[in-house]
Structure 1
Amino acid sequence: MGLVSSFGFLADFGSSYDFASSRKEVQWLASIFTGIILCVIIYRLMAITSSLLFARYGKLSDKEKIEWNNRGFSTVHAIFAAVVSFYLIMRSDLFTDDSREELIVHRSSTFSDSVLGISIGYFLTDLALILWYYPALGGIEYILHHGLSLFSIIQSLLSGQAQIYILMVLFTEATTPFVNLRWHLDVSGLKSSKLYVWNGVALFFGWLIARIILFIFIFQHMYNHFDEVKQIFPLGFYSVLTVPATLAVMNVFWFWKIARGMVRTLAKAKAKKHAE
């Protein structure tokens, strides 16, 4: 039984759903396993290089070392996802209006499929670690975020639909390196450094642009192309309407916490400067 057959229930939600060839299934599986393997390799490399380059790493607890390495492959995936999403949406002609006969919500390519597959591999690996070490690597909000991401990306990969919105949301991973650097600086005892302050400011503005303003643009794009959005198979259609909205609410909540943290950090930095 092929991969698509295992998710055959999706076909019941719309006649536009196309079953992929065996060759395409192999490509999907290859990209997913590539994502998993890359995460494992980067995890190992983080442990080796950090033990050699950072004296502080050896003083971390076992759980902190696991999170340190985990945030390493999280950062690499975030950069990868942001760069390729930007390229596919802004630089390629895949989603350019009138560049193809297909509806914009039905467009996909071998490259975009591979990108989604690699991201599925990442989210599966990260979610497995979060569940295994729960709650050391994150609470229920991380499980919800990763679960919704996997649900949406898998649907989009199997159906070849709504990839433009999946890629837009993947671009918001651009803020993740700032989040991870903030944690790394904290456990390295550099919370009072200028780099920590600058990173906090960059995180605030990066989050505002990538996870607040961009989501407004996503909803506006859906509204402007709603006649096309309605052509997505039913389960995918309702997912496109609800999943980004749920993530947007979570982003606003996290943005509020980031803003509070930045204000506190700037206040401490200002007080320290006056004390000197």
Structure 2
Amino acid sequence: MILWLFPALGGLEYVIHHGLSMFSIILSLLSGQGQLYILMVLFSESTTPFVNLRWHLDIAGLKNSILYVGNGIALFLGWLIARIFLFIFFFIHMWIHFDEVKEIFPLGFYSLLVVPPVLAIMNIFWFWKITKGLVKTLSKAKHSK
């Protein structure tokens, strides 16, 4: 869908994010290796309902609603846990178990060294945007009272 409707559903960063994710999932499924790391990264997708609800509320003209503000707070907290803290845990786990990670077949090993950091950088960038948006929304809500 992202490619079919490009760039309406997201820019190049969404294509890269989903392309790298699909590549990693397929690699793990075919090789039978690295599934713990795939599951950890897939858990980060638990923030998607908040992203989608935000879009729907925006399109419906409900940016000033309590639901929009509550969803923004939930998105911020969910993102912090599932895409920031989880990735920190991911990298610590990889570091502690690096002797086992090195045993993964070469393409899988190098993919583990490249894909998660790229996704983490994207998550940090998006988190910064979410934080900025939340601060803007909360300050608007505070001033309108």
TM-score range, shorter chain: over 0.9
In the alignment, structure 2 segments of 5+ residues that lack a partner are none
How far residue 147 of structure 1 moved from its aligned partner, in angstroms, is 0.6
- How far apart, in 2, do the equivalents of 1:134 and 1:163 lie? 30
How far residue 130 of structure 1 moved from its aligned partner, in angstroms, is 1.5
Deviations 1:163-190 (CA, angstroms, capped at 9, x unpaired): 0000000000011111111111111111
How far residue 225 of structure 1 moved from its aligned partner, in angstroms, is 0.7
Which residue in the other structure is 2:34 paired with?
Answer: 162
Q: Does 1:241 align with 2:110?
A: no
Q: Does 1:195 align with 2:55?
A: no
Q: 2:137 aligns with which of 265, 270, 274?
A: 265
Which residue in the other structure is 1:226 paired with?
Answer: 98
- How far apart, in 2, do the equivalents of 1:134 and 1:220 lie? 35
Larger radius of gyration: 1
- How far apart, in 1, do the equivalents of 2:112 and 2:36 lie? 11
Deviations 1:106-157 (CA, angstroms, capped at 9, x unpaired): xxxxxxxxxxxxxxxxxxxxxxx21122111111001000110111001000
- How far apart, in 1, do the equivalents of 2:3 and 2:33 lie? 30
Deviations 1:14-71 (CA, angstroms, capped at 9, x unpaired): xxxxxxxxxxxxxxxxxxxxxxxxxxxxxxxxxxxxxxxxxxxxxxxxxxxxxxxxxx
- How far apart, in 1, do the equivalents of 2:50 and 2:142 lie? 22
Q: 2:83 aligns with which of 211, 223, 227?
A: 211
How far residue 272 of structure 1 moved from its aligned partner, in angstroms, is 1.1
Look up the SS of the partner of 1:251 in the other structure: helix
- How far apart, in 2, do the equivalents of 1:203 and 1:132 lie? 27
Which residue in the other structure is 1:131 paired with?
Answer: 3
1:227 alignment partner AA? D
Q: 2:12 aligns with which of 129, 140, 156?
A: 140
TM-score where L is the length of structure 1: 0.52
Which residue in the other structure is 1:89 paired with?
Answer: none
- How far apart, in 2, do the equivalents of 1:257 and 1:152 lie? 26
Which residue in the other structure is 1:124 paired with?
Answer: none
| Greater length-normalized contact order (CA 8 Å, ≥ 6 residues apart) | 2
TM-score where L is the length of structure 2: 0.98
- How far apart, in 2, do the equivalents of 1:174 and 1:132 lie? 24
Identical counterparts, % of pairs? 74
Number of aligned residue pairs: give it: 145
- How far apart, in 2, do the equivalents of 1:267 and 1:182 lie? 18
- How far apart, in 1, do the equivalents of 2:5 and 2:18 lie? 15
Query: Which contiguous aligned blocks of 4+ residues in structure 1 show a shift greater than 2 angstroms?
Result: none
Which residue in the other structure is 2:21 paired with?
Answer: 149
Aligned Cα root-mean-square deviation (Å): 0.7
1:22-171 alignment runs, 5 A limit: 129-171=1-43
